[in-house]
Structure 1
Amino acid sequence: MSQQHLQQLRQLMAYEASRNAPPADFPRLPPLPSARYTDAAFHALEQDILFRKTWLLAAHLDEIPEPGCFQRWDIAGAPVVLVHADNGDIHALINRCSHRGAPVAMDERGKRKRLTCPYHGWSYSHEGELLAVRESRDFAALDTEALSLQRLRCERLGKLIFVNFDPQAVNLRESLGALVEEWAEFDLDNCRLSRRDRFSVRCNWKIAMEANLEVYHVPSIHGKTVSPVLDARRNVNSFYPGGHSRMVAPIPEGHAQPAWTSRWPDIPTAGDIARTCTQSYSVFPNLVMPLNQFVIPPIQFWPDGIDQCIVETWTMAPDWGADTDRGPDMWTEDDGARPSRVLREDIDMSEAIQAALDPRSNRGIPLSYQEARIYHWHQSADAVVGAAQIPEGLRVQPVLEDAWLHPNEPRLRGPG
């Protein structure tokens, strides 16, 4: 992070602590339609468009470290197999044989010289090309080039592997924009994967995710866990193009990073904000990326029906000099048996909110200035889906204009 950016963040923290109202020119946020969490048609739009036109974090290179290694990835609503090719590239292929649709990879993960359908023996290269057809004499004029496995967009940032179902999408780095430069200090090329776990949660996926998009709730829900090490009054929210956002809140004086982190090597290139603040990015549409000098613990939120979701937690860290099972664990207890206390606090409240939802209600959800990252997410979702495809009563008004998107910073022009 540049010294100019660092100085600006410190100025913004001071501004947030001193203000008595939202910035004078900050837009009024219209109530968020509550049916966006309960409407079946809107849920279908999310599945069919939102998760098909955006970059999704799929895997870590440690999971498929060598040529020939593969891993299934089905959580995004389509059967996908990720394959490490001989030339070092990672490919994302639809896990469906071009003959009669059987999965070419039945195991969750493994290592093979080629992908061979277990049903009729058709085999494919790591790039998805059809290599051999058993009893080819029985097929007349078979166009093998047209029968390759469908290949998806697949790109890496460090060891993180992302997939996009849209062949026309901008590349990953362009999509992430300024985040690429801001994350450079965290050495994503060398951080190892320590754990990856999944937990089923009884609520709409956005309810669970949005607990990570604001700190307004921290004194209430996390009074003994997060609140003591996060100065919510000095929290700075930033909005990025493409639906991404960030929060940065200083650790109060007299407090340090949680004691458990001192057990692990730190990331030597991590900067001052990583060492003195709590910071977390929201990467559109479903990835939350907290960052500090000890661990990189992404957390993802996947729809599993309108009123249920899967929370997927990761922990990555610098090489701790031991096997994977003994590395850091940010999000679970008892070796993955249950979520950590902080995560349980959010999950319990999210499930309670879901249980109290009234799908017949047309009352909107009022959002504060401190909850504007939530509004920014919904406004960006409508831009991806297309407002014309969304029922009028479920649309979000695009009131957060470009003037409020990074690198613009209206708050420093004068007092709010």
Structure 2
Amino acid sequence: MLDLVADQRPENDFARMDYERDRKGPPEGFPKLPDIPGTRYTDAEFLRLEKEMMWDKAWLYAGHTDQVSKPGSWFLTRNSGVPIIVTRNLAGEVKAFYNTCQHRGAPLVTEDAGEARGFVCGYHGWSYTLDGKLTAVRDKRDFVEFDMSCRSLVQVRCELLGSLIFINRDSDAQPLMEHIGPMAAQLEQFELDKLRLVDSRSYEVDCNVKVLLDAFLEVYHLKSIHINTVDRFLDHRSMIVTLWPGGHSRMATPNRRPDWVDPGTVGMPEIPSITEFPAKNNVSYQIYPNFIMPPAPTGIPILQFWPIGTRRTRVVSSWLAPDHDPENPHPLWPTRLSNWERILYEDLQYAPQIQESLESPGFKGMPLNYQERRIYHWHEELDRRIGLNRVPEHARVEQVLGDWVQRD
């Protein structure tokens, strides 16, 4: 039997798929996964702890560097629950600040994006540089012992993964590249720093955010939800999973035919450095908690799932691609985006009804199988971030997957 714990190195991925296709049950030693308590999706106290200890301290995708392509350009993001300005300063660095004037809390910007030489509060005219320093105060003579150097905009941690901008409201957070750990080396092949932003759109769904996150961490649902789309070319029974520290993970599902190529992408520019495995299989990376990225040679969709209430979620879907010219896009992009949206709608369609069902007395918890182990891994990490001793006992998950996490 293939040792899946020790043998999760990239060079063994094809062998692991063969094992998964032919196995008669879960691998020897794989633990029985205790039920995920249903209260994790509905209990007010648990959801408050989740927001405070996980969402407010996580590395979260904010946008693409194309959105701040030159000094002075900026955009506003509210997905994390608070308004944050992302801008490029005169030195070319990407910075992030709370959209909050240090006088009386008024917003510095009210549009979604723009260009400026600095930020001026529309309420009382306080002015700030692109680095957040306060430079001018109206009627400064009327302030007693006023130290402008202490009134800079409050900065938000902001780091890049190639051309992808991530923010973190926790000033003590681990650096992003250290945080994603072993995944970082695998992502190098996709040349994320060279990919252009093709498209971005959002959808709002009436469900707890974890209902949708769970769905994108497994392919167990393909034969029910994607009968006429994804299930036609993906072999879900040969899917492999890699669990990494910090709740991150990777899932890879082979095509039913090894020589299959998406006909809607033929002739599109390709990422030259992509390796054979992700080029020939459907690989999906997850950066904890809400970033999903299934790369392909001709383009990379990225998805984020944002809680905008305890039972409402915003899904942001964007596409990145090599050699993309926004003024003259490849003619296949409209069809490709339409096909992607069709598949996405298939995943979103039942979410409101699922939310209704798991709020009913008929739902006590989720018994997960081996194929769904990424979901359990995600929930284990959530409890660790909250603090195992702080999670209410009725909502707690048992920590059982430690031996199945790849640490290098």
C-alpha displacement of 1:5: 3.8
Residue ranges of structure 2 left out of the alignment (5+ in a row):
1-7
Letter aligned with residue 343 of structure 2: V
Letter aligned with residue 243 of structure 1: G
Counting only pairs closer than 5 Å after superposition, residues 26-37 of structure 1 correspond to structure 2 as 26-37=30-41
Counting only pairs closer than 5 Å after superposition, residues 97-136 of structure 1 correspond to structure 2 as 97-136=101-140
Distance 1:331 1:80 in 2: 31
Distance 2:192 2:313 in 1: 28
Match of 1:392 in 2: 393
| Length-normalised TM-score, structure 2 | 0.94
Letter aligned with residue 147 of structure 1: R
Letter aligned with residue 350 of structure 2: M
Cα-to-partner distance string for 1:372-410 (whole Å, 9 max, x where unaligned): 000000000110111222211001111111x211257xx
Distance 1:24 1:290 in 2: 29
Match of 1:163 in 2: 167
Query: SS at the partner of 1:297?
Result: strand
Match of 1:405 in 2: 405
Letter aligned with residue 211 of structure 1: A
Distance 1:122 1:16 in 2: 62
Match of 1:412 in 2: none
Query: SS at the partner of 1:342?
Result: helix
Residue 338 of structure 2, aligned match among 325, 333, 338:
333
Match of 2:382 in 1: 381
Cα-to-partner distance string for 1:287-323 (whole Å, 9 max, x where unaligned): 1111111111100000121221111000000113452
C-alpha displacement of 1:359: 4.6
Judge conservation of contact 1:124–1:131 (CA < 8 Å) in 2: yes
Distance 2:356 2:48 in 1: 21
Query: SS at the partner of 1:381?
Result: helix
Distance 1:145 1:114 in 2: 16
Query: SS at the partner of 1:340?
Result: helix
Letter aligned with residue 270 of structure 1: I
Structure 1, 260-269 or 132-141: larger mean CA deviation: 260-269
Match of 2:277 in 1: 273
Counting only pairs closer than 5 Å after superposition, residues 6-405 of structure 1 correspond to structure 2 as 6-253=10-257, 256-323=260-327, 328=333, 332-333=337-338, 340-360=341-361, 363-401=364-402, 403-405=403-405
Judge conservation of contact 1:331–1:343 (CA < 8 Å) in 2: no
Distance 2:361 2:328 in 1: 48
Distance 1:387 1:330 in 2: 47
Judge conservation of contact 2:258–2:280 (CA < 8 Å) in 1: no
Give percent identity, aligned residues only.
38
Distance 2:250 2:28 in 1: 21
Cα-to-partner distance string for 1:220-250 (whole Å, 9 max, x where unaligned): 1111111122111110011000000111111
Letter aligned with residue 204 of structure 1: N
| Aligned pairs, number | 400
Letter aligned with residue 137 of structure 1: R
C-alpha displacement of 1:329: 5.9
What is the aligned-residue RMSD (CA, Å)? 1.8
C-alpha displacement of 1:135: 0.9
Judge conservation of contact 1:35–1:359 (CA < 8 Å) in 2: no
Distance 1:251 1:333 in 2: 21
Residue ranges of structure 1 left out of the alignment (5+ in a row):
409-416
